A and B are shown apart, each in its own frame.
Chain A
Amino acid sequence: MKRTILVFSVFLSLLMIQQIKAQEKTISGTVTSAGDNSMPLPGVNVIVKGTTTGAQTDFDGRYTINASVGDVLEFSYVGLLSVTVTVGTSNTIDVSMEENLEQLDDVVVTALGIAKSRKSLTYAAQDINADELNRVKQTNPVNSLSGKVSGVVINRSSSGAGGSVKVTLRGNSSLGNNQPLYVVDGVPLSNPTGGQPQNTFGDINGGNRDGGDVLSLINPDDIESLTVLKGASASALYGSAGLNGVILITTKKGRTGSFKVDASSNILVESAAYYIDLNDRAEKDIEDFFNTGVTNINSVSLSGGSENAQTYFSYSNTFASGILPTNNLSQHTINLRENATFFDGVLTANASVLATTQSIDNRPVSGLYFNPLVGAYNFDSPGERLSNYENFEELDPNRNIQSQRWFRATSDIEQNPYWILNRNASEDVSRKFLASMSLKFKVNNWFSVQTRGTYDQTFLGFEKKVHATTEATLAPPNGRYIFNEQDIRQLYGDIIATINKQFNNITLSANIGTSTTRTTLEVLNADSGTNGGLQFANVFSVQNFNANPQVSIFQNSLDKQVNSVFASATVGFNEKVFVDLTARNDWSSSLPSGNNSYFYPSVGVTGILTEMFDMGDRISFAKIRGSYAEVGNDLPANTVFPERQILFGGGLSPLDPVRPLGEVRPEQQRSFEIGTEWRFFDNRFGFDFGYYQTSTIDQYFQVPVSTGTGSVTVGVNSGDIINEGFEASIFITPIQTDNFKWTSNINFAANDNVVEEISNPSDDVQIDNQVISPPGVNTFASYLVEGGSYGDIYAQVVKRDANGRPVVDAGAIVINDENPDNTIAGLEKIGNANPDFTLGWNNSFSYKNISLDFLIDGKFGGETISMTEAIVEGLSNNTQRETTNAPVEVVSPTGTVSTLTAQEYYGLVGGRNGFTGEYVYSATNVRLAEFALGYNFKLSENSFFRTIKASLIGNNLFFFYKDAPHDPNVSLSTGNALQGVDVLGLPSTRSWGLNFNLTF
C-alpha cells in the first residue's frame, strides 16, 4: 500500500503546477449548491479578497487555494449568492451556496454527466424534479413527462402496465430509431425493446405485442431529476445515440450527515374509459368483460453517509392487475449507490447496482390475431350474454380433450376472448442488471481525470402457450408453443480529462475523452409454428416439437462496437459571453472498414444580456443563444455485409440478404437552433423561447427493385427529412403570500415536418416512397413521400358526388379515384398522425399544508383512424350509431339517389379492409392529465416521522375535448409504425388513487 501511495504521489506531483509560497497554507474544500438537490458546483470562482490570488472549483466542486489565517475567501458564482469565509485554523473550508432568488435552476447536468451553469448553455435544456415527476406516479416514469416539458411528445403504448412509451423530441426524422437516448448518471442506458407491432392486422406469431422498454424497469422514486436535452447540439457529445435528443436521469444518492428513510406507497384504481360507442347490449357485455384495474407501487429507501462515504439503497415493488382479465404485472427493483472519497479528496469512487425483475401475464395485444377484444366487442348471440362464455371450454369426447366453445365458428381473428386469455396465455419476463463504477482523480485544482465503466444487461423473455383446439390458422391441432429469449449486453467505458481554469476574465471549461461501447445481442427463438406442430397436445416444451422444417428454431447473435474520441470546450468571456465547441469522431464496426470513421462538430454561443447591458430592475435575467451541430450515425449491426441465414430443417434463406447498391456512408443530421430566455420581477415571471431546424440526410433506405435483377431490395444512402419548430415555456407565480402560493407553467411546442427528398437524383434507383406502416391486407398505411410529412396516414376513401353523397355501384361502395397524386396502392392520404402543436398547462396551489396540482395537457391537430370501429361495424352490428343514426343518402354512378339504413351503410364501409376514410377523426384532444390534492401533516419536532404527506391523485380524468372514440395519446406501437390508428388496442383508462410519503 505504501508503495502504491508513493508511486501515486509521484504521478500526481509530475502533473501539479501549483506553486507553494512560504507562510501560506493550502486550503481546500468543496463547494456545493444548497438545498435538497445539492450537487457539487464546478467553475465557482474563489479569490482571496483584496489580492489577485484566485482559483476555480473543479468538476467535483473542489478547490485548493493558498491563503493565510485571517484572509477572507470570497466564493462567487453567477446565479448564486456570494459567500465569504474568513480563514481560520482549519485547512478545509466547505461551502454551501444558496440560490440567488433572482436566478433559478442554475446548475444543469449536461452530456456525459458534465455539470454546467445553466446560463452558459447554448441550447435548449429543460428539467423536471422528482416531486413534479412523481406527483401522479405511473409505472413508466417517462409517461409523466407529457405536458411538463415543451417539445416532448409522449405516446403511451396501449399495452397497459409495464408498457413502453414513445418519446418524440422535435419530430421524427429517421426510418430507424426516433427515440431519444436515456442516460443515467452520465452513462448511456441500453434501451432495447422486445419488438413493436408493425401492421394493423396483427402478428400471427403471438399477436401484435409491445416488447416493453427499459424505462418501465426503473423505480420512479430513485429519480432525483430528469433533464431533457432536446436537440443535437445538446447531445453531440453522445454521438449517434443522442441524435434524437437525450433524457438525462439523475438518481438519488446518499448525503453527508443526513440519515433518513423514505417510504412511499401508492395505490391507483383504473377503469376502461375511452373506447368506441357500443349499443346498450354490447356495452353491458364489455363493461362486464373489463375489470377494475389496481396498481400498487411501494418503495422504501435508506440514505445517509459520513464525509467520506455515502450510501443510498432502495427497494420498490409494483403489483398491477389490468382492466383486461388475467393481465397482471409484478415487479421488484433494488438500487444501491455508494460514493466514497479517498486520499483527502484526491480520489472519488462511485459505484452503483440496479437490478430489476418484471413479469407480466397476458400483456394486451392489438390487431386482430390473438386479441380477446375481437370476440368481446363483436359478441352478438341472441338471448345470450358474453359472460355465458366465461366457461370457455367443454369436453370433446372424440379426442378426450377440453375444446374451445364459442357461439359461432371461430375464425383466425375471432375466438372466445376467455379462451384466448386462458388458453392462448402469454408471459413476458424482463430483467435488468446495471452495474456501474466511476473513479475520479483530482490531479490538481484545475485538472482531473475520470474513468467510468458500466455493465448493462437486459434479459427479455416471452412465452406463449397456445392450447389445442385454438383456431387452425393460429395453431395446428395439438397446439403451439412460442418461446423467445433475448439477452442484450452493453459494455461502456470512458476516460475523460477535465480542465477548469480561469485566465483573467476568461474562463475555460474543457473536456477531452475517449469512450467505447460494445453491444451484443443473443436471441433464441423457438416456435412450433402454425403448421409444424407439437407431438403431444398441450405439452409446451421444445422437445415436444415435431421435427420438421415448418417449426422455427433459430439463434441470432449480433455484436457492435463504437469507439470514439471527443472533446469539448466552453469558453466564458467576462461571464457575459460563452462559446461552446464540441468535436467527436466515431469508429463503428457496423460500417464498411474503409468508411467506418466519421467526424462531427458542434458550435454554440450564448450572451447574457443582463450581464452585458444594464436592463433595469424589472428584468432579472436575459440571454440569447444559438448553436449548430452535425451528428453522424452508423447502421444497425450486420446491415452492410449480412450472411445467408440457415433455416431450421430447411436449408438456407432463399434470397440474398439486402446489400448496399454502392458504397455505404454514415447517415447525418444537421441541426441549428436559436433561443432566448427572460425572467422578470424577481423571477415571478419568465419565459424561454426557441426555434430549431434539423435536416436528416443520407439515411440508409432499403429500396425494392425489380425481382428480375436477382434481388428484391437494395440499400442506398438517400433522403432529406426536415423538422423545424418553435418551443416555448412560460412560468409565472401570480400569487405569493406567506400562506398561499400559485405557480403556473405553460409549455408549448410546434413542429413542422417536411420530407424534402426521398431519392437522391444521382442514384441509380429512384424511390417514390418509403413505407412506415405497411398496408398488408388492411386499409391503413403510412408512407414517406417527397413533399409529404413523416406520419402521413393513408386510408381507403369513399367516392362522393358533388353533393357529398357516397357513390354505390351494384351494392358496393366505390373507391374514390379523384386524388391520384396522393394515392398509393389504392389508399389516399387523409391526414397526419402528429399534432401541429402541443400545449401543457401545469398549476400548483399551496395553502399552508394543503397543496393542489393539476395538469391540463393538449395536443392540437393531427388525425387518427379508428379501425376498431370499422372492424366492429364490419363483423357485427354492435356500435351505437348503427342502431341510432339516420339513414344515409347514397347515389348510383348514374345519379340515382337511394337511402341505406345506418346499419347497412356502416356494414358496407366497415371492416379491417373497408373504407377506413370513414373512420378518420381529429386527434386534437385536451385532457385533465393529472390531478393531485395533498396534505402535509404538521409534525412535532420530536416526532418519529420527519414528514408525512398524503395525497389524492387522479390520472387521465377526463377530456375537455376529444373527437376520436379512443384516446389519441395512446399508440399501438412505440416504434415508428402504427401511429394515428387504433386497431383493437386496449382502451385507455381513467384512474384515481392515494399516495403516501413518509420520511423518518
Chain B
Amino acid sequence: MKNINIICLGFMLLSVFSCSEGLEDLDGNPRNITDEQLAVDFQNVGSLYKPMFENIYQYTPPWSYQLQQNLNADVFSGYMTNPRPFVAGANNTTYNLVSGWNNFIWSVPYSNVMNNAKTIENETKDEFPELFAVSQILKVTAMHRVADVFGPIVYTKFGESATTSEYDSQEEAYNAFFTDLEEAIQILSDNIDSPRFTAFDLAYGGNYESWIKYANSLRLRLAIRISKVAPAKAKSEGEKSLSHPVGVIEANADSFFVNGTLDHPIKTINNSWGDIRMNASMESILVGYEDPRAESYFNMSEVVEGAFKGIRNGLPLLTGYDDELAQKADYITFSLLSDEVLTPSIQLMTAAEVYFLKAEAGLRGWTGAGGVQANYEQGITASFQQYSLPGVSDYISNTTRTPIDYVDPVTPANNIAALSDITIAWNEAATNEEKLERIITQKWIAMFPEGQEAWSEYRRTGYPKIFPVVSNQSGGVVDTDLQIRRIPFVDSELQTNPDGVANAVTKLGGPDNAGTRLWWDTPGGNF
C-alpha cells in the first residue's frame, strides 16, 4: 500500500507545486500587528499618542535622549555639564558639533510625533475632532522645540512627497503653530465633556479643560518668543490666551507633565553612567541666592564636601589628562542631579513658567496679563510649592544676594567671576531690561531641568548671564560670549533632501552654521 500512497502523493505534489496558490498569505510576521488587529479598541489611533507624549522630550532609551537634548540644550542652557570630554573634548559642548549626535534632535520628533500626528489627522479629523485637537497640541509642543533648534523646519508640507520635503521658514512655522493651537482650542472648547481621550492621556487624565489651559499657556510661550521680532502678532496671539475664558495654567496641578512609569532618562545618564553633572552657572546662581531649590535639584558634591559644585561649560580635554576617562574620573565627583527632580514625570511646562510669561507680557503692555510684580512673585511661589519648600517670602524679599564667582577645585584655570549682580527682590524702579533679567533668571531656575526652553529663552533675552564655554572649537563660527545660537541642519537631511535644505538655508537668512541667529533671535536690547 505504501508505494501507491507515495506515488499518489507524488502526483498530488506535482499538481500543487506548479502554481502559486497559497503563497499570498504566507508572507508576514504573525508576532507583529496588522492594521485589522490594531483597529480593535481604536488602538489604530490610541496607540499613537503614547509615543508622541514620550518623544517630545525623549523618555527612553536614555542614550538617545542624551544625544537629543542632554549633550545639547541641557548644556547650552547652563543647567548641566558633562564631566567626560567626549571625543577628546571635540564635541557639541565645545562647539565642535558632532553631526551624528544632532541627527537625534531632528529624527526623534519627526519619527514619533509628526508621523503619528499625520496618521491621527487622517483617521480622526472628521469623526473625532477632539482626538485630532489633542494631537495638534502635542505636535506644536514638539515641533516648536525643533524649530527653536534649527530655524526652518518641515511642518506645513510634511508628508506631501514620498521622497523629499519642503521646509517652512521659522516664521511660517510659528504662524502655523498659532493656527493649529487656535483650531485645537476651539475644537476642545466645543467638545469639553467628551471622555474619549481618557484612556490615552498621559498628562491630564482626559480632562479637556486642563488641555485648553495648557494650549493657551503654550500659545502665550510662543507669543512671548516672537515678541521682539513680530510684536503685533505676538501681542494679538498672547492676548487671545490671556483673555480666553478657560485661561492659562495657574496651579501646579495643571502643569504639563508627561507621566511615565520609567526612570527619568537623565537619572540613568546621571546616576548610572556618570555622564552629567551640575553646571557652574547653576552653582553660581543657586548658591549665590542661597536658593533652597538647590537641594531639590542637586546633591552636595564629593569634591568639595558639604558644598554644591558645578562644572564649567565646554571643557576640552584639559592639559594633564591622558584621556577622557582620566578627566571624567576627577569631574564625576562634582554635584549630581538630585533624584527629587528626576521623577518618572517629564516636566514640560509649569505653572511657575506661565506666571513668568505673564509677568513679561505685562512688562510688554499686553492686555489681561495682570501685575508684573505679582506675577513674578507668584511664579517664584509656584516653583517653591512645586518642591514643597518653605521660606518663599524671605526669598522673594531678599535684596542682597547675587550670583557668586565660580571656583573650579580641580582646574583653577577655569575659575570665573559672576557675570551679573542681579538680585531676587522685585524692584519696580528698575529699567525694563533689569526687570526682564530678574524675570528670566527666576524663570530659568524654575524651569530646571528642561533645558530646551531655557536655552531658547537665553538666546532670545540673553538671560540669565551664564558662563561662556572654556574651549570654543567652532573655528570662529560661534562667538564665545554670544554663545551658540542654533544647530546646523542635520546630515540625514543634507544627504536625502539637498534641494530642500538649500531652500531652507535661504529661509534661514544666514549661513547654515551654529552662529546664525534664528528668526526670533534679534540682536540688541529686549525693548
Within 8 Å CB of A449, what residues of B?
Answer: 10
A561 touches B329 (CB 8 A): no
Q: Judging by beta carbons under 8 Å apart, are A765 and B17 in contact? A: no
Q: Which of B21-37 contact A (CB under 8 A)?
A: 22-24, 26-35
- Say which residue of B33, B114, B118 sits within 8 Å of A652 (CB atoms): B33
Judge whether A655 and B111 touch: CB under 8 Å. Answer: yes
User: Would you call B325 an interface residue if the criterion is a C-beta within 8 Å of the partner chain's C-beta atoms?
Assistant: yes
A561 touches B23 (CB 8 A): yes
Q: Is the CB of A709 within 8 A of B20?
A: no
Contact of B28 with A643 in the complex, beta carbons under 8 Å: yes
Contacts known (A472-B273, A651-B50); A563 close to B17, Cβ less than 8 A: yes
A652, closest chain B residue (CB): B47
* Chain B residues positioned under 8 Å from A4 (CB to CB): 1-4
A495 at the interface (CB under 8 A from B): yes
Given A707-B110, A708-B158; A597-B4 close (CB under 8 Å): no
Q: Which residue from chain B places its CB closest to the CB of A413 in the assembled complex?
A: B325
A451-B31 in contact (CB<8A): no
Among listed B183-191, B213-221, B366-374, B492-500, interface-contacting one: B492-500
**Which of B161-169, B289-297, B452-460, B461-469 contacts the other chain?**
B161-169
Q: Which residue of B lies closest to A477 (CB)?
A: B272
Question: Roughly how many angstroms separate A711 CA and B492 CA in the complex, as a whole number?
Answer: 12
Residues in B neighbouring A220, C-beta threshold 8 A: none
Does A7 lie within 8 Å of B4, measured CB to CB? yes
Select A654's contact among B19, B51, B88, B323, beta carbons within 8 Å: B51
A531-B268, A548-B261, A558-B29 given; A563·B23 CB < 8 A: yes
Residues of the B chain whose Cβ atoms lie less than 8 Å from the Cβ of A812: 90
Task: Tell me if A565 is interfacial: C-beta within 8 Å of chain B.
Answer: yes
Tell me whether A596 and B23 are in contact (CB under 8 A). Answer: yes
Contacts of A347 in B (CB 8 A): 3
**Does B313 interact with chain A (Cβ within 8 Å)?**
no
Indicate if B62 sits at the interface (CB-CB under 8 A). Answer: yes
Contacts of B3 in A (CB 8 A): 4, 8, 347
Q: Are B165 and A451 in contact (CB under 8 A)?
A: no
The answer to whether residues A514 and B492 also contact, given A643-B29, A708-B158 and a CB cut-off of 8 A, is no
- Say yes or no for A515: interface residue by CB 8 A criterion: yes
Nearest CB of chain A from residue B404's CB, rounded to whole Å: 31
- A439, A564, A593, A706: which contacts B154 (Cβ < 8 A)? A706
B112 touches A587 (CB 8 A): no
* Binary CB contact string for chain A from 557 to 575 against chain B (1 if under 8 A, 0 otherwise): 1111101110000000000
Known A549-B60, A644-B33, A710-B158; contact A559-B26, beta-carbon cutoff 8 A: yes
Q: How far is the CA of A982 from the CA of B144 in the complex (A)?
A: 44
In the complex the two chains form, what is the Cα distance from A641 to B154 in whole Å? Answer: 27
**CA A765 – CA B111 in complex, angstroms?**
20
Given contacts A548-B261, A654-B55, contact A706 B163 (CB under 8 A): yes
Chain B residues with Cβ below 8 Å from A565 are 17-18
Q: B6 in the interface, Cβ–Cβ < 8 Å?
A: yes
Q: Is the CB of A554 within 8 A of B23?
A: no
- Residues on A with C-beta less than 8 A from B48 are 652
Q: Judge if A646 is at the interface, Cβ distance under 8 Å.
A: yes
Cα(A596)–Cα(B492), bound, Å: 33
A472 close to B274 (CB less than 8 A): yes
Chain A residue, CB-CB nearest to B116: A654
Report the nearest A residue to B103, measured CB to CB. A707
B59 shortest CB reach to chain A, Å: 9
B413: Cβ under 8 A from any A Cβ: no
Q: Which one of A472, A556, A588, A707 lies within 8 Å of B493 (CB-CB)? A: A707
Contact of B34 among A515, A560, A643 (CB under 8 A): A643
CA distance A3 to B2 in the complex (A): 11
- 8 Å CB interface, B77-95 against A: 87-88, 90
Q: How far is the CA of A651 from the CA of B7 in the complex (A)?
A: 51
Verify B497–A706 contact, CB threshold 8 A.
yes
Within 8 A of B (CB), among A575-608: 587-590, 593, 596-597
Indicate if A68 sits at the interface (CB-CB under 8 A): no
For residue A396, CB closer than 8 A to chain B, the reply is: no
Please determine whether B13 and A514 come into contact, CB atoms closer than 8 angstroms.
Answer: yes
Q: How far is the CB of B52 from chain A (nearest CB, A)?
A: 10
Asked if B10 and A495 make an inter-chain contact with CB atoms under 8 angstroms apart, the answer reads yes
Whether A709 contacts B32 by the Cβ 8 Å rule is: no
What are the interface flags for A640-663 relative to B under an 8 Å C-beta threshold, 1 for contact and 0 otherwise? Answer: 111111100011101110000100
Chain B: which residue is nearest A453 at the CB level?
B13
| Least CB distance, A571 to chain B, in whole angstroms | 25
Q: In the bound complex, what is the Cα–Cα distance between A637 and B27 (angstroms)?
A: 6
Given A531-B268, A709-B159, the answer on whether A641 and B28 have CB atoms closer than 8 Å is: yes
Partner of B23, one of A11, A589, A641, A655: A589
- Per-residue CB proximity of A673-699 to B under 8 Å, as 1/0? 000000000000000000000000000
- Taking the nearest CB of chain B, how far is it from the CB of A913, in angstroms? 7
**Is B320 interfacial (CB 8 A cutoff)?**
no
Contact of A645 among B32, B163, B268, B493 (CB under 8 A): B32
Q: Which of A558, A559, A644 contacts B38 (CB 8 A)?
A: A644
Please report which residues of chain A, range 453-512, place their CB below 8 angstroms from some CB of chain B when the two chains form the complex: 472-473, 476-477, 493, 495
Nearest Cβ on chain A to B138's Cβ, whole angstroms: 14
Q: Choose one: B23, B154, B273; the contact of A588 (CB below 8 Å).
A: B23
Inter-chain contacts of A14 with B (CB < 8 A): none
A911 to B90, CA, bound (A): 14
Residues from chain A with a CB closer than 8 A to the CB of B391 are none
CA distance A596 to B55 in the complex (A): 39
Decide: A646 near B33, CB < 8 A? Known: A4-B1, A706-B165.
yes
Which B residues touch A451, using CB under 8 A?
A: 6, 10, 13
Any chain A CB within 8 A of the CB of B524? no
A825 within 8 A of B: yes
Residue of B50, B51, B268, B496 ringed by the most chain A CB atoms within 10 A? B496
A642-B32, A644-B32, A654-B51 in contact; A707/B23 too (CB < 8 A)?
no
Q: Which residues of A contact B (CB under 8 A)?
A: 3-4, 7-8, 11, 347, 408-409, 411, 414, 439, 449, 451, 472-473, 476-477, 493, 495, 514-516, 530-531, 548-550, 554-561, 563-565, 587-590, 593, 596-597, 637-638, 640-646, 650-652, 654-656, 661, 704-712, 714, 764-765, 768, 776-777, 812, 825, 874-875, 911, 913
Task: Kindly list 19 other residue pairs between chains A and B, CB separation below 8 angstroms, not including A408-B325, A560-B27, A643-B32.
Answer: A3-B1, A7-B4, A408-B326, A557-B30, A587-B20, A589-B27, A590-B27, A643-B33, A644-B32, A651-B50, A704-B496, A706-B496, A707-B493, A708-B110, A708-B159, A709-B159, A712-B107, A712-B111, A714-B162
What residues make up the interface of B, taking CB atoms closer than 8 Å to A?
1-4, 6-7, 10, 13-14, 16-20, 22-24, 26-35, 38, 47-48, 50-51, 55, 60-62, 87-88, 90, 99-100, 106-107, 110-112, 114-116, 118, 154, 157-159, 161-167, 261-263, 268, 272-274, 323, 325-326, 328-329, 491-493, 495-497, 500
Q: List 14 A-B contacts (CB under 8 A).
A: A11-B7, A411-B325, A451-B6, A472-B273, A514-B18, A516-B13, A555-B31, A558-B29, A593-B24, A637-B27, A643-B28, A708-B493, A708-B497, A712-B111
